[in-house]
Amino acid sequence: MIVGIALILSGCGDGGDTGAGDATAANTTQPRALSASTPACPAKVDSLLAALDRLRRQLAVGLSYDQYANAVRALRADYAAIPVDHLAIGCLRTAGSPAERALNRYIDGANAWGECLADAACTTATIEPVLQRQWRVASHFLSEAG
């Protein structure tokens, strides 16, 4: 079961999938500016950023692997709902790309953790630095989007 989750999540990493939605989704989202100097982004982008930030805060408190894997799956679904083909280039540059990079780091962390759990030789001391690095990089990308 753990290996299955790792394999499912591994298809969600840096493979370049844009998660583009259809034109209908783009027409139902209300654009909202991230700040005075950035172009408007749909509410779904703001929602993804908020969900990524929630995960960042939850990691500071601590999560089990199952909680983390479930959070990453939910983030992946939020990402897939964004109509990427209809986002303004400025929104992609200032919010979309950093959010995608942060999500990819969280996915990489879930994969590494799942692989560790499937390996009897892997210990907390082995996996913790790997996870901390992925989460630190994700946090950096998320801060770029904010």
Residue 25 is predicted with a pLDDT of: 31
> 86-96 burial, b for 16+ CB within 10 Å, e for fewer?
bbeeebbebbb
Residue 145 is predicted with a pLDDT of: 86
Residue 59 is predicted with a pLDDT of: 93
Backbone angles phi and psi of 41, in degrees to 5: -125, 150
Residue 39 is predicted with a pLDDT of: 56
Spans in the chain with pLDDT lower than 70: 1-39, 146
Residue 84 is predicted with a pLDDT of: 84
Helix (H, G, I), strand (E, B) or coil at 120: coil
